[in-house]
Chain A
Amino acid sequence: MLPTCREVAEQLSENIDKPISGFRWFKLKLHLLMCVYCRRYDKQLNITSKAIKLSELTKAPNKELGKLLTSFFIQNHAECKHHMDNESQNKK
């Protein structure tokens, strides 16, 4: 039995993430060969996926936040180190 259009629609998305293989791939291909709507859907789905990629903007790091967290990072490390040194001294 060949997959239905609805199943094909799901499999085409799956195929973007991990190529479908074997007999499932064969049945999917066969359906696509016979069904122009699913072929169009396939193309649209791939365009959509790429459009999401294009619309995702790279956001430049917030410098203030970077400074704030860096000082927290250093302070936290100093405290931890102090704490650990004390512990090792207590053991002695």
Chain B
Amino acid sequence: MTENELVDALLSGNESVFKAVFNQHYSLMYSLAQSIAGSSIADEVIQEAWVSAIKALPRFERRASFKSWLLRIVVNEAKSRLRKESRQVSLEAMQDDWTADIRFDQKSHWIHPVSQWDGDTPEELLSARQLENCLDKHLQQLPENQKVALKMRDGSGLSMEELCNILEVNHSNIRVLLHRARDKMLQVIDHFQQTGEC
């Protein structure tokens, strides 16, 4: 079924297509909602997002992909929920200055040797259940946009174009978000490798 046919089927009220689309995108929507608004209200965010999407469907312009459109509604819904809950400390305000990174000298070369890890694959490294928990913990602590970008790109394999549409930022911003997020997670793994601690 092409995306056009899918949208037509939804517009004509096809129940089984709706169920299939709901199931197909659930995990991705959950991951996105959880990244922004937390797991306790992720399902509520999904519910509100779907209600908005169902109502807005007749006005869906078929320029962007349906999936991107849907995910963007989730992002907006999650962000507005977060504002309402207003218990959110600004994560973006967290120290996040790549230029002030102490790992580089004035000439932007590495100051200390970059270490060598014990494994060559994530499976070898992640076999330690602790590391997995540790990654998860630090992933949650990333600034919101970095977290969303990393989870959607590396976690769920969304394309750069989809990410741009969903987060409404340009390519070079996405590149920066991804690099910072990956670099932070790399340091988490590195610390774990060196010390065995999270």
Residues of A within 8 A of B (CB): 4-7, 9-10, 13-14, 16-18, 36-38, 40-41, 43-45, 47-56, 58-62, 65-66, 68-70, 72-74, 76-78, 80-81
**Complex Cα distance A14/B13, Å?**
42
Interface hits, B39-73 → A, CB 8 Å? 43, 46-47, 50-51, 54-55, 58
Does the CB pair A7–B108 fall under 8 Å?
yes
Q: Which of B74-82, B87-95, B146-154 contacts A (4 or more CB under 8 A)?
A: B146-154
Does the CB pair B114–A47 fall under 8 Å?
no
Which residue of chain A has its CB nearest to the CB of B10?
Answer: A73
Which residue of chain B has its CB nearest to the CB of A12?
Answer: B179
Contact A65/B113 with A59-B30, A73-B18, A80-B58 known, Cβ cut-off 8 Å: no
Contact partners of A36 in chain B: CB under 8 A: 114
Contact A4/B107 with A47-B122, A72-B51, A72-B54 known, Cβ cut-off 8 Å: yes
**Complex Cα distance A77/B14, Å?**
9
Residues of B within 8 A of A (CB): 13, 15, 18-19, 22-23, 26-27, 30-31, 43, 46-47, 50-51, 54-55, 58, 101, 104, 107-110, 113-117, 119-123, 125-126, 132, 135-136, 139, 150-151, 153-157, 160, 175, 178-179, 182-183, 185-186, 189-190
Contact partners of A5 in chain B: CB under 8 A: 104, 108-110
Does the CB pair B43–A62 fall under 8 Å?
yes
Does the CB pair A55–B110 fall under 8 Å?
no
Does the CB pair A55–B186 fall under 8 Å?
no
Does the CB pair B108–A44 fall under 8 Å?
no
| Nearest CB of B to A30, in Å | 15
Contact partners of A81 in chain B: CB under 8 A: 13
**Complex Cα distance A48/B178, Å?**
12
Contacts A47-B122, A65-B47, A69-B47 aside, 12 further interface pairs with beta carbons under 8 A come to A6-B104, A9-B179, A13-B178, A51-B122, A52-B155, A52-B185, A55-B126, A55-B135, A56-B31, A61-B26, A66-B23, A72-B54
